[in-house]
Amino acid sequence: MLSRLLAVLLAMAAGAMPTLAQAPQAVAPENAGPNSNIVRWARGTYEYRTISDRRVRGVENWQLFAYGDGSRTMIMWHDLFATNTQFTGVARVDRDLRPLDAFAQFFTLGKFKGSAQIVFNNDTMDLTSTGPEGQVHQLRSTPKEFSISLHPLASDWWHYWYYDRKAKGSQISRYYSLEAGRDLGLPVTARLIETEQAEAGEEDVNVPAGTFKAIKFTSGSSAAWVSGPDSMLVKSLNPKSDREYLLIKYEAGQ
C-alpha cells in the first residue's frame, strides 16, 4: 500500500514540474553559389563514326569534376548501338592523373556482362568482378606509371599523363584494360597492356564542338588529339579499324 501511494505521489510531482521550453535551433543557410568542392567541371558528348562512310555507330556522354586537392572524377556512359553494347564507367585519379579507383559495368546483346570495382593502393590493384558466374577477386602489383581503360573513351586519354614531353620520341604506355567482350562466361578482369606512343606536336583541331588547341599523339596508324589540363580527348582516328571519334558537344565552368 505504501509503495503504491509513493508511486502516485511521484507521478503527481513529475506532472507538476514546469516543462522547460527548448530554444529553437538556428538553421544554417544553404549555399546558393558554386559548390566549394568543385574547382572546375566539364561535360561533353562524343560521336562514334566510321571513317569510310561517316556512319554513326554510337554516342558517349561524360562529365568531369576537378577538386581542390587536384584529383579528378570522370563519369562516362555510352550507347554503342552498332554492336548492341552499353558501358558505364567512373574513374577517379590524382593530380597527376594516376588512377585511384574506378567502377565499370557492361551490358551486351541485352544481357548483363558484369561489373568491376577497382581500388589502387600504392603499388597494388585490388579488383572485384561481379557477373553471371559470380564474383572473382584479382590482386596485382602495378608498375610505377600506368593508367586504366574502362572502354568508354573519355578517360582513355589519361594514358598520356606520364609521357615525357622533354624526352619526346616513341615511349612505352602501360594501361590496364578490362575484359568487355561478348562472352558472358568471361569475368570483367583486367590485363596489363603495353603500347608505344609518340607526340606529334600541337595543332588547332576543328570538331563539331568547336576549335581546340590540342596535342597530337600517335600510336601505330592511330592518332589522338587531347586538350587542356585534364587531357580531354577532342578527336581520335584509327584508319586500320575504320573508326573515328569526335567531340560534338562541350561545355565547362568553375
What is the pLDDT tens value at each position of the chain, 254 positions in all? 445 544 544 455 455 555 556 667 888 889 998 999 999 999 999 999 999 999 999 999 999 999 999 999 999 999 999 999 999 999 999 999 999 999 999 999 999 999 999 999 989 999 999 999 999 999 999 999 999 999 999 998 898 889 999 998 999 999 999 999 999 999 999 999 999 999 999 999 999 999 999 999 999 999 999 999 999 999 999 999 999 999 999 999 98
Residue 209 CA neighbour count, 13 Å, CB half? 23
The pTM for the full model equals: 0.86
Assigned C-alpha cell, 246: 569526335
Give long-range contacts, CB 8 A cutoff, 24+ apart: 33-40: 34/254, 37/67, 37/68, 38/65, 38/66, 38/67, 38/254, 39/66, 39/67, 39/68, 39/254, 40/66, 40/252, 40/253, 40/254
Q: Where are the beta strands (DSSP E) in the chain?
A: 38-50, 56-67, 72-80, 85-93, 99-108, 111-121, 124-131, 134-141, 147-149, 171-178, 190-207, 210-219, 222-227, 232-238, 243-253
| CA–CA dist 52, 50 (Å, integer) | 6
